[in-house]
Structure 1
């Protein structure tokens, strides 16, 4: 999807290597990972962006991983979002969810074997693929649930370019970390 996460990441990777995504590359919307892998295999497109574990599956088919975005730059790809109404009406529920997320992240970061087994059971993938997934992403989960301000600013600036917005936008305008701070405090974590 143009403008979606994979599109944005692909453009950032290309820029990192000195290419102009608007001039040097032609983007084609091809669908999900399986469709994109098939399109490369058939020679319909030259390359594609894949997330874990699709990148490992493609490597098994003989494809070469040219770059891993998370090794090039810090771009928070996921997060917890809720409406302002939901947060105001159910702050305790929101905080419980955030606390659970922090505990889950900490488990993922410290319990490699348990996480790999969960991936095998939940994703229904073989152990080799689960190991590749964990090794690629296991340590990328935030230990305290926070997103460093420089990462948030990076996302803001990239999206301002896409949306052609000139005004300054601060992280506080797009994110409210007050409930996260409460959850961190309850867990005995000093937030960043």
Structure 2
């Protein structure tokens, strides 16, 4: 699906049972009353970069210009606001935030000068660097806890069919272990779905995601969900002072961890 917003709409409509989606999209939907809950966090920080056109050498030069994102309310939107504030720039005042659509559309928008910078994830970061664009900030390097990406379902499904949820999460952690242990297999799969055979692009994407940031134990935490609520609160007052624990169920991952199942995957 082009973005998490479309995915969340599909979950709410009952068209899918599980989503791999940004924590911010889930929390925003749940604050608004939707039946959506995080059951696993696979990336606990924002693995994104602020990337600018070649002529922009420092973030201050973005003042009065535009940064491209996928859609408002996504983790890419969050990354844009965090990155701009990191440099003392006020989002939507000093720098415009422009919705572009799918991630793969942001780099072409930069190429055409529709926007002068963008918030990118891999492999778009690698593609942009190859085209001469400049990384102004590696957001992940800031080390800020954030429920960036994970597994979301509905509380209704947890109540009605907990065994299905349990089996899905077992498959999820098995897949994570396979990704981490089998580089060639993973890169072949990535190449298929990313529609590329570029070894540099695939290698960098694999090292960053599978080896550096992908969580072998995808446990949701208060520490990672709280910043999601704090980021949402200025735009949605309902998020203020909410208990982060309301927005995730860590019981399935904890069960897999306590049983020794996850450890067994790495022996």
Q: Which blocks of at least 5 consecutive residues in structure 1 are unaligned?
A: none
Residue deviations 1:132-155, cap 9 Å, x none? 111221221111121343112111
Q: Among 175, 184, 189, which residue is 2:248 paired with? A: 175
Q: Which blocks of at least 5 consecutive residues in structure 2 are unaligned?
A: 1-70
CA contact (8 A) 2:107 2:118 kept: yes
Q: Among 34, 47, 57, which residue is 2:127 paired with? A: 57
Q: Which has the higher contact order (CA 8 A, sep 6+)?
A: 2
- Tell me: CA distance 1:112–1:77, structure 2 relative to 1, closer, same or farther (3 Å): same
Superposed displacement of residue 71, structure 1: 1.8
Residue aligned with 1:92, SS: helix
Count of residue pairs brought into register by the alignment: 190
Residue aligned with 2:156, SS: helix
Q: Which residue is 1:31 aligned to? A: 101
Residue deviations 1:38-89, cap 9 Å, x none? 2211222211111111111111211122222222233222221111111111
CA contact (8 A) 1:99 1:187 kept: no
Superposed displacement of residue 36, structure 1: 2.2
CA contact (8 A) 1:102 1:143 kept: yes
CA contact (8 A) 1:102 1:145 kept: yes
- How does the TM-score come out when normalised to structure 1? 0.87
CA contact (8 A) 1:101 1:145 kept: no
Q: Among 112, 130, 140, which residue is 2:202 paired with? A: 130
Q: Which residue is 1:15 aligned to? A: 85
Superposed displacement of residue 189, structure 1: 5.1
CA RMSD of aligned residues (A): 2.1
Q: Among 155, 179, 190, which residue is 1:119 paired with? A: 190
Whose strand proportion is higher, 1 or 2?
2
Whose helix proportion is higher, 1 or 2?
1
Alpha-carbon distance in structure 1 between the residues aligned to 2:103 and 2:250: 33
